[in-house]
Chains A and B, each alone.
Chain A
Amino acid sequence: MKTTYYWLVFTGSNILLLALTAMVNDGLAGWNIALLLAGPCMVWPALRLPPGELLACVALSGLTADAQLPTPPGFLMSLFAAGAMIAIVARQRLGPMRRTQQIGLAWLLNGLYFAAFTGWALARNHGGGANFWEHLAVDFCLSQLLVIPAALWLFDFQNCVLALAGLTAGPHRAADAS
C-alpha cells in the first residue's frame, strides 16, 4: 500500500490542538477551571486514514499528550485508539458522515474521554469531595460547549493544510471529508 503524508498532517494538527488547549488551561488556572478538548482529534484520522497510518497517528498523538499527564503512560493513547474504533464503527453504521455528524461524534468522544479521566481519578482516590464534583461539573459543561467550535476549527485547519499540501483528494475514504 502506498504511504501518504496525511497522517503527518493529522498528527501535527492534533498536537497543535492539544498544545493550544494546554495554553488556554494555563490561563484559566487562576479561576480553577480547565478544559478538555481532545474529542475532535481522532475523528478525521479514523475516517480517512488506512490502518497503518491511523495507528501511527494514534500512537504519536497519544504518546505526545501522555508525556505531560500524570496518568499511566499510554492512557490517552488508549483513549484515542478507542475513539478511533468508535468512529470507524459509526462510519460503518451511518455510511459517509456529514459535517454535523462528525462534530456530534467529536462531542460524544470528548464526553467519553472526560468520563475515562474521571474514572481514573476516582480509582486513584484523587476525587470524591464536594469541590471535586463542582469543579468537574463546571469543567465538563465548558468543555462540551467549547469542543464544538474547537472541532469546527480543527476540521477547517486540517482541510486548509491538506489543500496547501496538495492532498485534497484523500487517500482512503475521501467521501467523509465533505
Chain B
Amino acid sequence: MLVLALFLAVWWLAPVGVRSFSRASFALFEAPGLIGYSHVKDLQDYWSLRDHGQNALIAAGRDVQRHANDDDLRLQQAAAVLAENERLAALLQLPPEPGFRYEVARVIRRDETAWWQQITIRKGRHDGIADGQGVVFAGGVAGRVKQADEYTAVVELVTSPSFRIAAQFGPDGTPVIFEGVTPAPFQNPTGEVHGVMNLDKMDSGQPLQLVSSSLAGSFPQGLALGEVDRLQTGSDGLSQSGVVKLDTRLLNLQEVAVLVPDGTAPVTINPSPATPASGK
C-alpha cells in the first residue's frame, strides 16, 4: 500500500509534460490495435455485403445512380451560386473566406457515456488533423477534434455539454449560441440554442433550421446543426432559447470529414482510403 501511495504521489507531483508525454506514448502504442480492429470491422462489412444477392446489388446500384444524378444537379447549382457569390464579393471588395480541405475518416470507436460524448477516428496529425478543427458528416456538424494523436484523433461530439459554437437561423446572420446536451438513453439527440434576440422568429409555425455561423471559426457558414420547433423567453426576459433536434444519424456515425484549414483554396474532398463499399 505504501508503494502504491508513494507512486501516486510521485505521479501527481510530476510535471504536466511528463504525464502528457506518457498519455501520448500510450495512445501511439495503442493506435495499431485500434486501427487493426477498425480494418477487421471493415472486412466484416465487406463480407456481409458480398452475401447480398444480385437483385439487392442491382437495386442498390440503381439507388446510387439516382443519388449521383441528383448530386450532379446540385453541384451545378452550387457552382452557379458560388460564382455569383464570388462576383458579388469582388464587387463589394470583401476579404476571401478561409477555405477548408475535407479529410474523410472512418470512425473506429464510439464512446457516448453520460460523462463524455466522443468518437475516435482513423486519421490524426499525420494527415494534417489538429486540435480544435471542425468535424462534419452527411447530416451537418458532427463535432470538433479534441485530441489529435499521430494516427488517430478523438472528436468531441456535438451532443457533448462542453460543445458550444456560434450559430444562426438559416440565412439570418444574427448570431445565437448552440450548446450540446447529454442525450437521454433510447432517445434522439438534442441540443440547446440560447441568445435568440428576434422575438418573431417562430411566427411562420415551421421548424427553424439552425446552421453554423462563420463566427464559429472552425466551421464554414451554413452547415446544418438541427431544427428548432419552439422558442421560449429566457429568464432575462430579453432573449429566447429552445431545444434543437439533431440528426439521428449522429448516433451511428461510420464516417466523418474533418475540416482542415487550407488557406483560401476551394473545398476539396480527400476520400478515406479504405472505404469498403466504395467502388465504381
Which residues of A pack against B, CB within 8 Å? Answer: 19, 22-23, 25-26, 29-34, 36, 51-52, 54-55, 58-59, 63-64, 66-70, 72-74, 77-78, 81, 84-85, 88-89, 117-118, 120-121, 124-132, 134-136, 138-139
Using known A-B contacts A73-B19, A85-B1, determine if residue A25 contacts B111 with beta carbons closer than 8 Å: yes
Query: Closest CB of chain B to A173's CB: distance in Å?
Result: 14
Give the residues in chain A near B8, CB-CB below 8 Å. 78, 81
Q: Are B251 and A30 in contact (CB under 8 A)?
A: yes
In the bound complex, CA of A36 to CA of B112 (Å) = 12
Q: Are B111 and A22 in contact (CB under 8 A)?
A: yes
Q: Are A29 and B251 in contact (CB under 8 A)?
A: yes
Within 8 A of A (CB), among B254-278: none
Using known A-B contacts A73-B23, A135-B184, determine if residue A26 contacts B3 with beta carbons closer than 8 Å: no
Interface size bracket, B side: 35 or more
Query: Closest CB of chain B to A9's CB: distance in Å?
Result: 18
Using known A-B contacts A68-B109, A77-B11, A88-B1, determine if residue A134 contacts B184 with beta carbons closer than 8 Å: yes
* Chain A at the B interface: SS class: helix
Within 8 A of A (CB), among B140-181: 146-147, 154, 156, 160-162, 181
Task: Say yes or no for B93: interface residue by CB 8 A criterion.
Answer: no
Q: Are A126 and B111 in contact (CB under 8 A)?
A: no
- Smallest Cβ-Cβ distance to B2: which chain A residue: A51
Query: Closest CB of chain B to A128's CB: distance in Å?
Result: 8
Within 8 A of A (CB), among B88-127: 109-116, 118, 120
- Smallest Cβ-Cβ distance to B118: which chain A residue: A70
Query: Closest CB of chain B to A49's CB: distance in Å?
Result: 11
* Chain B at the A interface: SS class: mixed
Using known A-B contacts A32-B112, A78-B11, determine if residue A129 contacts B1 with beta carbons closer than 8 Å: no
Query: Closest CB of chain A to B181's CB: distance in Å?
Result: 6
Give the residues in chain A near B186, CB-CB below 8 Å. 31-33
Q: Are A131 and B113 in contact (CB under 8 A)?
A: no
In the bound complex, CA of A134 to CA of B5 (Å) = 35
Using known A-B contacts A67-B30, A68-B154, A70-B146, determine if residue A31 contacts B19 with beta carbons closer than 8 Å: no
Query: Closest CB of chain A to B58's CB: distance in Å?
Result: 29
Q: Are A55 and B3 in contact (CB under 8 A)?
A: yes
Q: Are B23 and A66 in contact (CB under 8 A)?
A: yes
Q: Are A117 and B4 in contact (CB under 8 A)?
A: no
Give the residues in chain A near B235, CB-CB below 8 Å. none
Give the residues in chain B near A74, CB-CB below 8 Å. 11-12, 19, 22
Q: Are B19 and A34 in contact (CB under 8 A)?
A: no
12 A-B contact pairs sorted by A residue (CB < 8 Å): A25-B111, A25-B113, A26-B110, A29-B112, A30-B252, A32-B184, A32-B251, A66-B23, A130-B184, A131-B183, A135-B183, A135-B185
Indicate which residue in A31, A59, A68 contacts B30 across the interface (CB closer than 8 Å): A68
List 8 additional contacts besides A34-B111, A74-B19, A139-B114; criterion CB under 8 Å.
A22-B109, A32-B185, A51-B3, A64-B30, A81-B8, A126-B182, A132-B161, A135-B183
- Smallest Cβ-Cβ distance to A138: which chain B residue: B185
In the bound complex, CA of A89 to CA of B4 (Å) = 13
Task: Say yes or no for B54: interface residue by CB 8 A criterion.
Answer: no
Using known A-B contacts A64-B30, A68-B30, A88-B1, determine if residue A132 contacts B251 with beta carbons closer than 8 Å: no
